[in-house]
Amino acid sequence: MRAMWVLLACLLAAPRGTVQNMVCYSCEYHAGETHKECMLDPESVVTSAPTVNCDKKYCTVIRQEHASTGTVNTFSRGCSDSIVKENGVVIDALFKTYYKTCSTDRCNYGDGKSTNGVVDGGGGGIFVKGRGNGAPAIYPTMAVFITLMFAVLFTVYI
């Protein structure tokens, strides 16, 4: 009976796995602003926190340029549950707009036009080399739990 209570206490005290949100760069630039860190180096953004804990599906980059001049009109990095345009470009009479999405930590860097430093993931993602497969990080605790259970049962029955 005592072993049963010890076992129950271990079950209740056992740590559980946690899902960790991905981290995305988050900033905006609008034509005429003096702070261009959002476009050039998102780590050094000073107008807001450079990253956010994203509980959505994607990190994003949207870059809108004037079609006639190629100068940047707006530029944003953030996180979203939906994709406006899957890793592509939309051109109309006034603007050329680039859309990039990805699903790993800090993957929404770069100029928003190219995939420099990243690998195109095929089915709609840009994945940073060495950053895993894009799945949420789950910290396994089963091995610790099994070891703890073995230790408790070993001490109770010996």
Q: Mind listing the pLDDT tens digit for each residue in 45-98? A: 988 889 999 999 999 999 999 999 999 999 999 999 988 777 899 999 999 999
Average pLDDT over residues 138-154: 49
- Residue 148 located in a structural domain: no
Give residue 17's pLDDT band: very low, low, confident or very high (50, 70, 90): very low
- Residue 56 located in a structural domain: yes
- Residue 73 located in a structural domain: yes
Domain limits for position 69: 21-132
> CA–CA separation, 76 vs 50, rounded Å?
12
Average pLDDT over residues 126-154: 44
Q: What is the pLDDT of residue 115?
A: 59
- Read off the CATH number of the domain in which 100 is found: 2.10.60
Average pLDDT over residues 88-117: 89
Percentage of residues of the chain with pLDDT beyond 90: 50
- Residue 113 located in a structural domain: yes
- Residue 91 located in a structural domain: yes
Q: For the chain, how many structural domains are there in total? A: 1
- Residue 124 located in a structural domain: yes
Q: Select from 34, 26, 37 the least CA-distant residue to 61.
A: 26
Reduced to 3 states (helix: H, G, I; strand: E, B; else coil), residue 63 is strand
Contact 126, 86 (CB under 8 A): no
- Residue 154 located in a structural domain: no
Q: What is the pLDDT of residue 114?
A: 75
